[in-house]
Structure 1
Amino acid sequence: MQTLIAALGAAALVSTSALAQSQNETAQAIFDQFAQDYPSLNVTVMVEGEIAFEAEGGMMRSARDGVTTDYNVYSTAKLLTGLAYARLEAHHGLDLDQSVRAIDPSLPAAYEDVTLRQLLSHTAGVRGYTGEDDWIAFSDRRCALPSDALGHFIHDPLIAEPGAAHAYTTYGFVLLSHLLVELTSADSFDAAMSAALGEVYTAQSDSDSADKATAYYDAGEGLAPLPLSAECKFGGGGLIASSREMAQMGAALADGSVLSAEDIHAAFTPIQTSAGEAVSYVYGMEAGFEPSIGLHYAAHSGGSPGGRSFLMVYVEPQVVVATTANADGANHYPLALALADLYAGYSQ
């Protein structure tokens, strides 16, 4: 009998190994289709907290452009910031519906009715970029703390009544970055994120001196290096991380470290604006529930001249996909979705 059991166990191991090999071969083929369009592209897939697949590619790779090299993740930082607030609410009782002026009374009076939850869902009425000149002007700023960045937008009128409409804004997440520093009494944004997330937080704030992959942009006659710092964007788009670090942070959402299984469904339910619009952007991420397969999912993309990233989290099967690249290009959603479905066992 023991011989039979041992034989069955060995057969199961062979079957599991063969499946993993087949998945990885398919994943590599999918990845290779995308990698040829980037100077450097990396991907990390985690299943139940373990790395299942990693790949590196690109047409201009250097020896340092690997899955553990830091890249600008741009707006994917909003998802990571959302995780910090979600954990503070779930584990420390933070009231996301309080006025932001209760946290920082020095904010303009127009923010009296603005709440943390509205900022996290882009429904607070904070303006976004008004155009390329505004984007460049903000990118040219240098900031040690999120409070240093507020002067660029904080005194501008709100573009809508708080809670009335959904309008995507990086500036709203710069304000959230400042408020996180205030809430945690930290001396830096990274320290505030660590205070909220503990060991889950493995990214870091961008700066002129940051050790990260060289960024490239399309100069019209080919790719050219692009010195670019997003250091005033903090949790709105100013973090750097590797694909492996991003996947590990996403895995904390999937494994219950940030929100319990009981909290996930409520947290991923769309919110309603005062005008009746359903907004699926909650906790700094696109989140939802697919009832046909019982799947809660969260995702966010980030991109700018010089980089592109994506983080996809499937909660129930605990499948996480993170991508990083050092040039902008087509949204990484098709790549991340294909890999997430592959390792979750969903057919396209």
Structure 2
Amino acid sequence: MIAAVDGSEHSLRALEWARTAALRHGTGLLVAHVLPEATQLYAGRRSALHDPNEPEEYADPVGDRVRAILEASPERPAEIRYEALEGSVPAALRVISGEGSPRMLVMGSRGRGGFAALLLGSNSRAVATTASCPVVVVPHAGRDAAADPAGEAAGASAGKVVLGLHVTETPEDVLSFAFAEAAARGTTVQVVSAYAIPPGPANVLGGPFAVIPPEALADEGDSVPAEREMLRAQTRRLEAVRGRYPDVPVEQAAEPGNAAGRLVEASRSAALVVVGRHHPRVRSLLIGSVAHAVLQHAHGPVAVVPALTDEDAEL
């Protein structure tokens, strides 16, 4: 588990989220700090949390604050490492995300140098679209649905894992990530897909979208044919991953036109929203419009999961 920090409050919220996630998954925690350009000369001396007895030129205030926060935490992962990195933020985090197959990289929605009006900073966007492992972007306090950065106090840990699914394009690795997260949390996966709006009289849409358990799909009910067919296509696509996670409850939902708005709305109460992107080698197709919109406007944590296998890279 990697937590990217820069000393900003946004990144420290991400650190707390990563600490909790590392405990949940039983993994170690690597805290990565990309040093400001002016101090990168001494990066090689900072492979561990700062020793106050070292010369002042080696001081790392961010590392000191990270150590203080983790030491004050009620529970810590068994292994914690701190690395001070050189280079640009996207490049340095892209390199470290490809080392040792980390479960995920967690970072704030924007860092110390961002404009306050931006919901998603350029570094967060760049890392989410190029990292070699799943990236979780934790929103700043003004957008997070829960006051507690880890989501525990507001009950978000009992919330659902919401998966944005394109039935023909979403890589299988994305489904596996969502179900593994739900299994670790003991919660439900809610699957949301979009379907084409059929021609005909204008539909009046109001209220929350319908969530249908898989066993109800045998009943035609009142849904339009396009919605029903999308739900059945979801069921077919989910068959393999449900076989691997038979104890994870599943809810299915279909949204006419575009799923981004519903995913953003679901992020208000979800434990995590999961969207996919293509393999890092497919440079022209890294992230779609839905994933970008969810990253930009979500009220809770969003995981952007790349295709991690060659099979998925061909999708």
Please classify the TM superposition score into its range, dividing by the shorter chain length: under 0.3
**TM-score under structure 2 length normalisation:** 0.27
Structure number with higher relative contact order (C-alpha < 8 Å, ≥ 6 residues apart): 1
**TM-score under structure 1 length normalisation:** 0.25
